[in-house]
Amino acid sequence: MLLTRLGGGLRRPGNLARTCSAASTRGPGVTFTTDRGDRDKRDRERAYPKLPQVTVGVVVLKEDEVGGVPRAMLVERKNDPAKNTFAFPGGRLNLGESLQDCARREVREESNVELCASFPLELVTTIEHVSRDDEGDVKFHYVIVEFVGLAAKGSREIPGDDAASIDWASLDELWDKNILDKKAHEDVMRKALEIYRERRNP
Protein backbone atom coordinates (compact mmCIF):
# COMPACT_ATOMS: atom_id res chain seq x y z
CA MET A 1 0.00 0.00 0.00
CA LEU A 2 1.22 3.44 -0.91
CA LEU A 3 -0.21 6.48 0.81
CA THR A 4 0.96 9.82 -0.49
CA ARG A 5 -0.21 13.04 1.10
CA LEU A 6 -0.95 15.78 -1.41
CA GLY A 7 -1.09 19.45 -0.57
CA GLY A 8 -4.14 21.56 -1.20
CA GLY A 9 -6.82 23.65 0.36
CA LEU A 10 -9.97 25.64 -0.20
CA ARG A 11 -10.77 29.21 0.65
CA ARG A 12 -11.62 29.33 4.33
CA PRO A 13 -14.84 30.98 5.54
CA GLY A 14 -14.64 33.71 8.12
CA ASN A 15 -16.04 33.71 11.65
CA LEU A 16 -19.02 31.37 12.00
CA ALA A 17 -22.10 31.35 14.18
CA ARG A 18 -21.97 28.87 17.04
CA THR A 19 -25.62 27.86 16.76
CA CYS A 20 -26.11 24.76 14.68
CA SER A 21 -29.39 22.91 14.20
CA ALA A 22 -30.56 20.11 11.95
CA ALA A 23 -32.75 22.46 9.94
CA SER A 24 -31.74 23.40 6.38
CA THR A 25 -28.60 21.29 6.38
CA ARG A 26 -29.20 19.46 3.12
CA GLY A 27 -26.93 20.87 0.49
CA PRO A 28 -28.12 22.00 -2.94
CA GLY A 29 -27.60 19.92 -6.01
CA VAL A 30 -28.69 16.65 -7.54
CA THR A 31 -30.21 13.91 -5.40
CA PHE A 32 -28.56 10.53 -5.96
CA THR A 33 -29.93 7.10 -5.13
CA THR A 34 -27.88 4.02 -4.31
CA ASP A 35 -28.82 0.60 -5.68
CA ARG A 36 -27.62 -1.78 -2.98
CA GLY A 37 -28.18 -4.78 -5.26
CA ASP A 38 -25.34 -3.62 -7.52
CA ARG A 39 -22.77 -3.42 -4.71
CA ASP A 40 -20.92 -6.62 -5.68
CA LYS A 41 -20.76 -5.58 -9.32
CA ARG A 42 -19.35 -2.18 -8.39
CA ASP A 43 -16.76 -3.77 -6.12
CA ARG A 44 -15.51 -5.94 -9.00
CA GLU A 45 -15.36 -2.93 -11.29
CA ARG A 46 -13.08 -1.10 -8.86
CA ALA A 47 -10.27 -3.59 -9.47
CA TYR A 48 -7.92 -2.74 -12.37
CA PRO A 49 -9.56 0.60 -13.17
CA LYS A 50 -8.83 2.54 -16.33
CA LEU A 51 -8.78 5.77 -14.34
CA PRO A 52 -8.20 6.67 -10.67
CA GLN A 53 -11.33 6.44 -8.52
CA VAL A 54 -12.30 9.55 -6.54
CA THR A 55 -13.70 9.00 -3.06
CA VAL A 56 -14.66 11.37 -0.27
CA GLY A 57 -14.09 10.97 3.47
CA VAL A 58 -15.54 13.17 6.21
CA VAL A 59 -14.33 13.86 9.73
CA VAL A 60 -17.73 14.58 11.29
CA LEU A 61 -17.17 16.34 14.60
CA LYS A 62 -19.70 16.51 17.44
CA GLU A 63 -19.28 19.32 19.94
CA ASP A 64 -19.25 18.46 23.62
CA GLU A 65 -22.22 19.91 25.48
CA VAL A 66 -19.94 21.29 28.21
CA GLY A 67 -17.40 22.80 25.84
CA GLY A 68 -14.86 19.99 25.73
CA VAL A 69 -12.87 18.75 22.76
CA PRO A 70 -15.11 17.53 19.90
CA ARG A 71 -15.27 13.85 19.05
CA ALA A 72 -15.29 12.36 15.55
CA MET A 73 -17.78 9.94 14.05
CA LEU A 74 -16.58 6.41 13.35
CA VAL A 75 -18.63 3.98 11.26
CA GLU A 76 -18.26 0.24 11.85
CA ARG A 77 -18.35 -1.61 8.53
CA LYS A 78 -20.99 -4.33 8.31
CA ASN A 79 -19.71 -5.99 5.12
CA ASP A 80 -16.41 -7.14 3.63
CA PRO A 81 -13.89 -5.84 2.86
CA ALA A 82 -12.86 -4.44 6.26
CA LYS A 83 -15.87 -5.94 8.04
CA ASN A 84 -16.12 -4.95 11.75
CA THR A 85 -13.48 -2.24 11.43
CA PHE A 86 -14.12 1.45 12.08
CA ALA A 87 -13.45 4.35 9.73
CA PHE A 88 -14.56 7.89 9.04
CA PRO A 89 -17.71 7.94 6.88
CA GLY A 90 -17.21 8.29 3.15
CA GLY A 91 -17.54 6.72 -0.27
CA ARG A 92 -17.23 7.09 -4.02
CA LEU A 93 -18.06 10.24 -5.93
CA ASN A 94 -20.95 9.84 -8.37
CA LEU A 95 -20.85 11.22 -11.90
CA GLY A 96 -22.15 14.79 -11.90
CA GLU A 97 -22.00 15.07 -8.11
CA SER A 98 -19.99 17.76 -6.33
CA LEU A 99 -17.48 16.74 -3.67
CA GLN A 100 -19.47 18.53 -0.98
CA ASP A 101 -22.75 16.88 -2.03
CA CYS A 102 -21.00 13.51 -1.99
CA ALA A 103 -19.73 14.18 1.54
CA ARG A 104 -23.20 15.11 2.81
CA ARG A 105 -24.81 12.13 1.06
CA GLU A 106 -22.33 9.59 2.41
CA VAL A 107 -22.67 10.87 5.98
CA ARG A 108 -26.46 10.78 5.68
CA GLU A 109 -26.53 7.29 4.13
CA GLU A 110 -24.13 5.77 6.64
CA SER A 111 -25.35 7.45 9.83
CA ASN A 112 -28.57 9.44 9.24
CA VAL A 113 -26.69 12.50 10.57
CA GLU A 114 -27.07 15.88 8.88
CA LEU A 115 -24.17 18.32 8.71
CA CYS A 116 -24.30 21.78 10.23
CA ALA A 117 -25.14 24.47 7.67
CA SER A 118 -23.34 27.21 9.65
CA PHE A 119 -20.09 25.21 9.63
CA PRO A 120 -19.46 24.64 5.88
CA LEU A 121 -17.43 21.64 4.84
CA GLU A 122 -13.73 22.39 4.47
CA LEU A 123 -10.98 20.42 2.78
CA VAL A 124 -8.55 18.80 5.22
CA THR A 125 -6.22 16.91 2.90
CA THR A 126 -6.11 14.54 -0.05
CA ILE A 127 -4.64 11.06 0.05
CA GLU A 128 -3.54 8.90 -2.87
CA HIS A 129 -3.75 5.12 -2.50
CA VAL A 130 -2.18 2.89 -5.17
CA SER A 131 -2.11 -0.90 -4.88
CA ARG A 132 -0.35 -3.18 -7.39
CA ASP A 133 -0.64 -6.91 -7.98
CA ASP A 134 2.24 -9.41 -8.15
CA GLU A 135 2.80 -8.54 -11.82
CA GLY A 136 3.16 -4.86 -11.03
CA ASP A 137 -0.15 -3.86 -12.60
CA VAL A 138 -2.27 -1.28 -10.80
CA LYS A 139 -5.12 -3.13 -9.08
CA PHE A 140 -6.56 -0.19 -7.18
CA HIS A 141 -5.98 3.55 -7.46
CA TYR A 142 -7.97 5.87 -5.21
CA VAL A 143 -7.76 9.60 -4.65
CA ILE A 144 -9.38 10.27 -1.27
CA VAL A 145 -10.58 13.81 -0.56
CA GLU A 146 -10.96 14.36 3.19
CA PHE A 147 -13.30 17.03 4.56
CA VAL A 148 -14.20 18.22 8.05
CA GLY A 149 -17.79 18.97 9.00
CA LEU A 150 -19.87 19.44 12.12
CA ALA A 151 -22.86 17.29 13.09
CA ALA A 152 -26.05 19.30 13.30
CA LYS A 153 -27.56 19.45 16.76
CA GLY A 154 -30.60 17.23 17.00
CA SER A 155 -29.35 14.75 14.42
CA ARG A 156 -29.92 11.20 15.59
CA GLU A 157 -27.39 8.66 14.40
CA ILE A 158 -28.89 5.49 12.89
CA PRO A 159 -26.54 2.99 11.18
CA GLY A 160 -27.19 2.71 7.45
CA ASP A 161 -27.32 -0.44 5.33
CA ASP A 162 -23.52 -0.73 5.18
CA ALA A 163 -22.93 0.15 8.84
CA ALA A 164 -23.01 -2.15 11.87
CA SER A 165 -22.79 0.69 14.39
CA ILE A 166 -21.92 4.35 14.85
CA ASP A 167 -19.43 5.51 17.49
CA TRP A 168 -17.72 8.76 18.47
CA ALA A 169 -14.11 9.08 19.54
CA SER A 170 -11.66 11.72 20.67
CA LEU A 171 -8.20 11.88 19.15
CA ASP A 172 -6.77 9.77 21.97
CA GLU A 173 -9.60 7.24 21.78
CA LEU A 174 -8.86 6.42 18.14
CA TRP A 175 -6.14 4.02 19.28
CA ASP A 176 -8.69 1.99 21.26
CA LYS A 177 -10.81 1.33 18.17
CA ASN A 178 -10.48 -1.42 15.57
CA ILE A 179 -9.17 0.82 12.77
CA LEU A 180 -7.06 -0.54 9.92
CA ASP A 181 -4.76 2.47 9.55
CA LYS A 182 -4.83 4.27 12.87
CA LYS A 183 -1.91 6.58 12.07
CA ALA A 184 -3.60 7.87 8.90
CA HIS A 185 -6.87 8.43 10.78
CA GLU A 186 -5.00 10.23 13.56
CA ASP A 187 -3.21 12.51 11.09
CA VAL A 188 -6.44 13.44 9.30
CA MET A 189 -8.35 14.02 12.55
CA ARG A 190 -5.55 16.13 14.00
CA LYS A 191 -5.66 18.42 10.95
CA ALA A 192 -9.47 18.51 11.11
CA LEU A 193 -9.36 19.61 14.75
CA GLU A 194 -6.86 22.35 13.90
CA ILE A 195 -9.28 23.70 11.28
CA TYR A 196 -12.15 23.46 13.76
CA ARG A 197 -10.27 25.42 16.43
CA GLU A 198 -9.17 28.11 13.95
CA ARG A 199 -12.74 28.63 12.77
CA ARG A 200 -14.28 28.62 16.24
CA ASN A 201 -11.61 30.97 17.61
CA PRO A 202 -10.46 33.17 14.69
Across the chain, mean pLDDT equals 84
Under 8 Å between Cβ of 130 and 115:
no
pLDDT, tens only, 133-163: 999 999 999 999 999 999 999 999 999 999 9
Sign, CA torsion 39/182/128/189: positive
At 169, the pLDDT band (50, 70, 90 cuts) reads very high
Residues in the chain: 202
Measured CA to CA, the distance from residue 103 to residue 98 in angstroms comes to 9
- The per-residue pLDDT for 81 is 80
Q: Kindly state the helix (H) or strand (E) to which residue 198 belongs, with its residue range.
A: helix 182-200
- The per-residue pLDDT for 201 is 85
152 vs 80 pLDDT, higher one: 152
pTM of the model: 0.79
Grouping H, G, I as helix, E, B as strand and the rest as coil, residue 197 is helix
- The per-residue pLDDT for 22 is 57
At 15, the pLDDT band (50, 70, 90 cuts) reads very low
Q: In the chain, what's the furthest Cα-to-Cα distance?
A: 55
At 188, the pLDDT band (50, 70, 90 cuts) reads very high
Does residue 11 have a pLDDT over 80? no
pLDDT, tens only, 21-54: 654 444 444 333 444 445 455 556 679 999 999 9
* Domains recognised in the chain with CATH numbers: 2-9+52-200 (3.90.79.10)
- The per-residue pLDDT for 77 is 96
